[in-house]
């Protein structure tokens, strides 16, 4: 009875590593260890899109001010005013359009830099993840010398690093957008 239990325990411990010894697919490893990875990437992409709407609140104010000055200019022009009044309305309209154009350029450059930084961070995470997948596959195929405890710690540390990197990106995007 004791021998049977010992043999069963050995089979339970050895069988999983032997079953994977042939070959482990990357998709299997990703499904098993990185199930929330794609959701995290989607969350970053969504935050990038939201950033576009709120990173430059002055653009919205200047847009409404420019529209108001254009409408005022059209109203003044239709009422056949003096040259001075018309010139003043035109100068206000041109000034507002110029300010809006400048703000849009600055906003666009700012958004481009922020998005570039977050995309670089996503690429760094993808490279790190690929290395971790390789370590996992190597271990599951029995081609490394890591103990189960070392492997578990390595995977846990790697997954923690990836999660914290995603949190850092999201925090950065959210602070830029406020």
Outline where 21-144 has alpha helix (H): 26-33, 37-54, 57-78, 83-140
Neighbours of 169 (CB within 10 A): 24
Q: Using CA atoms, how far apart are residues 46 and 49, in angstroms rounded to an integer? A: 5
101-151 pLDDT, tens digit per residue, is 999 898 888 889 989 999 999 999 999 999 999 999 888 888 888 888 998
Tell me 178's DSSP state: -
* pTM exceeding the 0.75 threshold for the entire prediction: no
Q: Which are the contacts of 144, defined by CB distance < 8 A and separation ≥ 6?
A: 135, 138, 151
Residue 160 tokens, joined? 């923690």
Coil, strand, or helix at residue 35? coil
Q: Using CA atoms, how far apart are residues 132 and 127, in angstroms rounded to an integer? A: 9
The pLDDT of residue 8 is 41
9-25 pLDDT, tens digit per residue, is 454 455 454 444 457 88
Q: Using CA atoms, how far apart are residues 43 and 168, in angstroms rounded to an integer? A: 12
């Amino acid at each position: 009875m004791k021998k049977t239990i010992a043999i069963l325990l050995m089979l339970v411990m050895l069988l999983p590593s032997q079953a994977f010894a042939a070959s482990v697919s990357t998709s299997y490893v990703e499904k098993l260890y990185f199930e929330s990875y794609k959701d995290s990437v989607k969350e970053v992409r969504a935050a990038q899109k939201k950033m576009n709407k709120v990173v430059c609140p002055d653009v919205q104010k200047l847009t409404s001010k420019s529209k108001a000055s254009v409408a005022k200019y059209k109203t003044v022009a239709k009422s056949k005013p003096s040259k001075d009044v018309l010139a003043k309305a035109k100068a206000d309209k041109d000034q507002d359009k110029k300010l809006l154009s400048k703000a849009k350029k600055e906003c666009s450059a700012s958004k481009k830099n922020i998005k570039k930084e977050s995309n670089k961070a996503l690429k760094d995470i993808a490279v790190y993840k690929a290395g971790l997948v390789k370590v996992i596959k190597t271990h599951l195929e029995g081609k490394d010398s890591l103990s189960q405890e070392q492997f578990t710690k390595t995977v846990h540390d790697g997954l923690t690093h990836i999660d914290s990197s995603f949190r850092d990106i999201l925090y950065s995007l959210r602070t830029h957008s406020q």
